[in-house]
Amino acid sequence: MKTMKTNHRPYLIAEIGFNHEGSMETAQRMIRAAARAGADAVKFQTFRADDLALPSAPHYGLIKPAEMTRDELRRLKAWADEAAVDFLSTPFSREAVEWLAELGVAAIKVASMDCTNTHLLGAIAATGCRILLSTGMASLDEIRRTLAFLDARTSGEVVLLHCISNYPAARHELNLATIPLLRRTFGRPVGYSDHHPDPKACLAAAILGAEVIETHFTLEPDRQDGDHAHSLGPDALQRLGADIEAALEMLGSEEAIFTRPDRENAATFRRGLYAARPLHNGERLAEQDLLLCRPASEFSPADLAWLTGKVLRQDVAQYAAIRRNDLMMDDV
């Protein structure tokens, strides 16, 4: 798996999910398009419809065509390798976990619905793969118990993904401030799994320190059915990556306060004290005799009160900077 941060931005996952609708040709096109748009990884879902829903469920017919065989998964992984992106998938059965482990996937994504499913989590932990754990619908105590379960089985590294399991999730529901809370509470890498149609949510998550961003991806962003309605097209995904890089470059780091790039401008932009008129030897300085203007000089505005009343030992030309050796020695 690529480093969690690449080129100043989080690890960016294009969540293809079941937007390919069972077409391997479409899936291949989506992998290539996501790679061109700058994704670090593409993510699919490995399931049988019967693993997820009863045949009577409304979405059973929607997901049924997107089932994939073991051989089809191998082809997807090969295409991802060719496109130089990581291949990820979400398994919904222990058999699917075995398939993904056999493929040597970069990480295994756990859907929010399975955040507390120890039957599935035990199989995933046994693979030793890095785990991307979505936390939609989960309380802090549930997340804590799941992490303890995985730690007890010496699983691979766990990355927590803040997630709101509404499709789509409304802006006021996102609560992206949970990202730093999860990091403080559990001391793990934290990312964001997005179900919001506006990519600004992912941008905000990156600014809050998300190390992984997962966002739904489609070749048909104008479609309003299925997951297409809250998915980004290739152009939007590419813009998102560029916007995140720009925002994080602007964000910088706290340590930069000690090496700030504008410090060298202080001498030019800060004010010094200058003669407002021709001043003469023996004159006592009054406030109106002094100009506070740029650039900085030997005396600063903080010295104005101290200078007022001091006696000059020599003439000072108008607009010349006041210097310490201009003053009577007794006043210095």
pLDDT the model gives residue 6: 46
Q: Is residue 51 part of a domain?
A: yes
pLDDT the model gives residue 327: 97
Percent of all residues in the chain with a pLDDT value above 70, rounded to a whole number:
95
Q: Is residue 1 part of a domain?
A: no
pLDDT the model gives residue 172: 97
216-245 residues labelled b (16+ CB within 10 A) or e (exposed)? bbbbebeeeebbbebbbbbebbbbbbebbb
What value does the mean pLDDT take over residues 311-319? 97
Confidence tier at 5 by pLDDT (50, 70, 90): very low
pLDDT by residue (tens digit) across 61-93? 888 888 889 999 999 999 999 999 999 999 999
120 and 243 part of one domain: yes
325 and 176 part of one domain: no
Instruction: Count how many domains the chain has.
Output: 2
Q: What is this structure's pTM?
A: 0.87
What value does the mean pLDDT take over residues 180-205? 97
Looking at the predicted structure, is the pLDDT value of residue 47 above 80?
yes
pLDDT by residue (tens digit) across 196-238? 999 999 999 999 999 999 999 999 877 766 667 778 999 999 9
Which among 252, 276, 303 is the end of a domain?
252
CB contact at 8 A, 13 and 215: yes
Q: Is residue 3 part of a domain?
A: no
pLDDT the model gives residue 8: 63
219 and 272 part of one domain: no
180 and 221 part of one domain: yes
pLDDT by residue (tens digit) across 88-142? 999 999 999 999 999 999 999 999 999 999 999 999 999 999 999 999 999 999 9
pLDDT the model gives residue 99: 97
136 and 276 part of one domain: no
Confidence tier at 16 by pLDDT (50, 70, 90): very high
196 and 234 part of one domain: yes
Q: What is the mean pLDDT of the chain?
A: 93
What value does the mean pLDDT take over residues 269-281? 98
Specify the CATH number for the domain of residue 97.
Answer: 3.20.20.70
What value does the mean pLDDT take over residues 131-158? 98
pLDDT the model gives residue 230: 76
What value does the mean pLDDT take over residues 229-250? 93
**What is the domain extent for residue 307?**
263-331
Which among 252, 279, 303 is the end of a domain?
252
Position with higher pLDDT, 3 vs 213: 213
